[in-house]
Structure 1
Amino acid sequence: MIHKSKGMFIKLLGSALLLVTVSASLPAPAAEANYFSDLYKGLQNFSELPGEVNQLQESYQQTMDELQQTKDRLGETQDQLGQTLQDIEDYRAQNVALQEQNRQLGLVVEELRNDRTERENYYNRIKITLLTGVGLLLGYFILVRLLRFGMRQRSRKGDRLH
């Protein structure tokens, strides 16, 4: 067994020597084993965290303020939209009332025109009746004059014949 252990030891020693020579012959990258630098950078990053948190809080607060302003403007816009819709409804109702009033005024105007036409027709009938009456009176007087004149002429002729 000792022999076996010696053989094993030699194998391990040969493997270790081979590994050391191979690793010594290969160019190894320069490793920085500066623990203090890493620790300092870690502490520096840790100490900068509250500043970043403060920046994030300020950014969050600014975003919230902008959101609130947007909500306020949206509320104002909605109020204006509601007021505009109310104004439109008021104008619509006023327009309907004005159309009804216009229709009624149109009926009144039409009625007044009809009354005026009837009055004019009545006055024309009265005028025609008066002119006809005057014409008949004139015709009567003229006819009576002509008859008298004709009777005188006959009576003169008759006196001459007798």
Structure 2
Amino acid sequence: MRSAFQRWYLGLAVCALAAIVGLFGPASSAQASFFDRIKDIYQLPSNVEQIQKDYDAAKQQLEEQKGKIDEQQEKLSEAMRQSKETEEKLLSQNDALKQENEQLQARLKAMEELAQNKEKRNRKITTMILTVVGLVIGYFVIGRVIRFVLWRNRRRAIRK
């Protein structure tokens, strides 16, 4: 069995060999070389900074959008409140107008009944006046006819 020191030494040697092969070994055209990878690692903080800036900008836009949405929601709430107030006001006006309409219809009905009663009374009065005039004229005519008949009968009686 190998000791722990030998195993550690063997692991270190394998890592060193892998690093040397990675540094100086031929790079395939499809893969980046070791130096490009190191360069990318050093450029990573600037990429992280750019990503952080983009994140902050996106976060700020999100906050602005959230503020706009909150503002629009407040406006909508205010509009809904005003709409309810207007609806209640219109409903109360509608009720008042209904009551006024009912009162006006009752007045109109009473006036129509009054006009009909007045018309009936006027017809009765006219009928009574015409009847009285007819009776008076009839009385005079009948009186004249009776006088004429009596006069004629007397005249015939005198001639005989």
- Per the alignment, residue 101 of structure 1 pairs with 100
- Per the alignment, residue 148 of structure 2 pairs with 149
Amino acid in the other structure paired with 2:71: D
Provide the aligned length of Structure 1 versus Structure 2: 134
- Per the alignment, residue 32 of structure 1 pairs with 22
CA displacement at 1:31 relative to structure 2: 4.0
Distance in 2 (alpha carbons) for counterparts of 1:72 and 1:122:
74
Distance in 2 (alpha carbons) for counterparts of 1:52 and 1:31:
34
Question: Structure 2: any 5+ residue segments left out of the alignment?
Answer: 2-17, 25-33
Give the RMSD, CA atoms, in angstroms.
2.4
TM-score normalised according to structure 2 size = 0.74
* Percent identity (aligned): 23
CA displacement at 1:113 relative to structure 2: 0.6
**Are the structure 2 counterparts of residues 46 and 136 from structure 1 closer, same or farther at C-alpha, using a change threshold of 3 Å?**
same
TM-score normalised according to structure 1 size = 0.73
- Per the alignment, residue 70 of structure 1 pairs with 69
Distance in 2 (alpha carbons) for counterparts of 1:110 and 1:157:
69
Amino acid in the other structure paired with 1:149: F
Give the 3-state SS of the residue equivalent to 2:22 in structure 1.
Answer: coil
Amino acid in the other structure paired with 2:22: E
Distance in 2 (alpha carbons) for counterparts of 1:50 and 1:100:
74
- Per the alignment, residue 83 of structure 1 pairs with 82
- Per the alignment, residue 126 of structure 2 pairs with 127
Question: Structure 1: any 5+ residue segments left out of the alignment?
Answer: 1-7, 9-27
For the pair shown, the structure with the greater C-alpha radius of gyration is 1
